Amino acid sequence: MLKFLTNFRYLSWIAIICSLLGSFLMFIIGFVKTYTAFSVFIVGLNPEDDNFHLSLGDIATTYLIKSLDAFLIALVLFIFAYGVFSLFVSNPTDESEYKVLKWIKNPSIAHLKNVLAELIVIILFVKFLEIAFIKLDKLDWDILVLPVSILLLAVALKFLDLRHTAEDQNDTKAPGVRS
C-alpha cells in the first residue's frame, strides 16, 4: 500500500505538464500583445475600434500592459509547475542539479501558496491599471470594485501570514527566537 501511495505522487506530472503548456501559451500571448503594441505605434494599426479616444501611444501602452499581464500569468504557471515538481516529484538529493532555479525553491506548500497568492494580487493590480488606463476619460464608481477587491485580498494575505508559516516550518531555532 505504501508503494502505491508513493507512486501515486507521479500523477502530479499532469499538473506540471499542463501548467508548463499553459505557461508557454501565455508567453506566446504576451509576445503577440507586445508585437501588437509595436504595430500600433509604428504602423498605426488599431485592431480594436473601442480605443478611438486614445492616441496611438496610449493604445500601444495599453497593449504593453496587457502583455505584462500575460507574462505574469505565464510566470505564475511556471512557478506553480516547478513548485509541484520540487514538492512531489523530485528527489531531495538531486537538488544540486537544479541550482539554476534555486530562486523559486519551494520548501513547503505554504510557501508555494504564498508566492502564488502574491502574484495573483499583482496580476489583479495590473488588470486594474489596464482598465483604468483604457477608461481614463470616462471613469465611474464601478471601477472601484477591482481595487477594493485587491485591497481585501492583500489584507487577507497579510492576515494569513503564509510566509511566516513557511519560515517557521524551516526554522531550526527555538520557537520565538528571531535573528
- How far is CA 79 from each of CA 25, 103, 139, rounded to the nearest angstrom? 15, 10, 35
Nearest Cα to 134, choosing from 31, 77, 72, 49?
49
CA distance 153 to 121: 7
Stretch among 6-10, 81-85, 106-110, 174-178 having the lowest mean pLDDT:
174-178
- How far is CA 13 from each of CA 83, 102, 115, rounded to the nearest angstrom? 12, 20, 20
Q: Give 68-107 pLDDT, tens digit per residue.
A: 989 989 988 998 898 888 888 876 665 555 565 565 666 6
Cell numbers linked to 9: 505522487
**What average pLDDT score do residues 16-30 get?**
97
**What average pLDDT score do residues 124-139 get?**
79
Nearest Cα to 110, choosing from 163, 170, 172?
163
